[in-house]
Structure 1
Amino acid sequence: MPPSHEFMSELRAAADVLAGPEGLTRYRQLVAEALYRRFQCSMASLWLLREAPAGRFLECVAAFSENPELNAAGTELHEKDFQVYFDTLIRTKVYNSPDAQEDPHLAGLKDSYLLPQGVRALLDVAFQINGQPLGVLCIEQRETPRIWSKVDEVDLRNAASVIGISIARHRNDEQQTSVA
């Protein structure tokens, strides 16, 4: 089976844990690990879009890294600080930066996130449920720039679709169970 098919199968299989006791937390971690393996990147992470009185922000809810000491889990990125990045993600559903430290739209992230994490390249794809933005899948490369291929972008977009569907089904199942 080609790597892209294996990867999608792995993501679909990961959704089986959603019904278990570890549920969503374990699913998110399995997704981050699958992304890391598929893209052979330095770190893969899953971010949720949150609403707050001060505005929207992304919160990293799961990450898998080649270096466990460099991990984005728990990090928050606020829309007001990174407007162009957020606008691009919402409008096009993808943010591709082969050299993030030189990307003028990510300048606000440089000192607070890119340099401390050693991030040189990133490819982010937004995922949604019923047309509403829910979060972002992020793959990153440390130390050297990286040109992400069209296949990488397509596979990450497909992963975003699978993940959005899996989470929507999970939410639907939870609502059905709470009604019963």
Structure 2
Amino acid sequence: MIFPSLDKELNLLGWRLADGALTVLGYQCALADIVQRLFNCSTVALWRVTGVEGKRSLQCLGRYQAAAAGLPCRDVVAEPQLRQYFEVLSDRGVYACDDTLNDENLNALESWYRRPDAPRAFLDTLVAINGQAFCVLSCYHESGRRQWSIDEATTLKRLGARVALHLTRMNPPGFGLESIRFG
């Protein structure tokens, strides 16, 4: 649930981005801080969606933790590796994974999820602008399994919609979204 104080914080964040008082990187860090406080997650990641449906890929733009903002991230995941994940994310706008080691849709990345620093659960939402997938906002839980509630999934999806509005407001008419540079 987005509380009134959080609503005001998000509005201010969006207007500061649109006015140029906040860089896109500053926006990412502030958004990650909000998501971490709201969901009590260990890490927040932002992934840029590139390509066309069926041949999309996710490029990690950055990971954010309370102790270290803007951790470098160069991971790239191609849609053919995770077709079912992309289908669910595209259809529902949100993907909740309670246990990365037992989610059949993630089998192609099993070795990655078995690393000691890998998340054990995550909640992702698709940020779409004018019907086009633009980026994915991810909440990671690293200390074990986590059952994500419907309220959490709905709240993250609403946050993703707000991010889309902020980015659209920042991007003046006549300019393509490719003019928005992350990181």
Question: What pairs up with 1:1-180 in 2 under 5 angstroms?
Answer: 4-15=3-14, 16-20=16-20, 23-51=23-51, 55-66=55-66, 68=68, 71=71, 73-113=73-113, 115-172=115-172, 175=175
CA distance, structure 2, for counterparts of residue 120 and residue 67 of structure 1: 19
Is the Cα contact below 8 Å between 1:95 and 1:123 reproduced in 2? yes
> Normalization by structure 2: what TM-score?
0.82
Can you list the C-alpha shifts for 1:123-170, whole angstroms capped at 9, x where unaligned? Answer: 111111111111111111012101111221121011011000110111
Is the Cα contact below 8 Å between 2:113 and 2:120 reproduced in 1? no
Q: Which amino acid aligns with 1:44?
A: V
Aligned residues: 174
CA distance, structure 2, for counterparts of residue 63 and residue 152 of structure 1: 20
Relative to structure 1, the CA distance from residue 85 to residue 3 in structure 2 (aligned partners, 3 Å threshold; closer, same or farther) is closer
Deviation of residue 98 (structure 1)? 0.8
Alignment-derived partner of residue 178 in structure 1: none
Q: Which amino acid aligns with 1:148?
A: W
CA distance, structure 1, for counterparts of residue 61 and residue 82 of structure 2: 19
Is the Cα contact below 8 Å between 1:120 and 1:144 reproduced in 2? yes
Is the Cα contact below 8 Å between 2:36 and 2:42 reproduced in 1? yes
Can you list the C-alpha shifts for 1:90-117, whole angstroms capped at 9, x where unaligned? Answer: 1111111111111111122221256353
Relative to structure 1, the CA distance from residue 113 to residue 144 in structure 2 (aligned partners, 3 Å threshold; closer, same or farther) is closer
Relative to structure 1, the CA distance from residue 22 to residue 142 in structure 2 (aligned partners, 3 Å threshold; closer, same or farther) is same
Q: Percent identity?
A: 24
CA distance, structure 2, for counterparts of residue 39 and residue 26 of structure 1: 20
Identify unmatched segments of 5+ residues in structure 1: 176-180
CA RMSD of the aligned region, Å?
2.8
Alignment-derived partner of residue 179 in structure 2: none
> Normalization by structure 1: what TM-score?
0.83
Is the Cα contact below 8 Å between 1:118 and 1:143 reproduced in 2? no
Relative to structure 1, the CA distance from residue 107 to residue 116 in structure 2 (aligned partners, 3 Å threshold; closer, same or farther) is farther
The structure with higher relative contact order (CA 8 Å, sep 6+) is 2
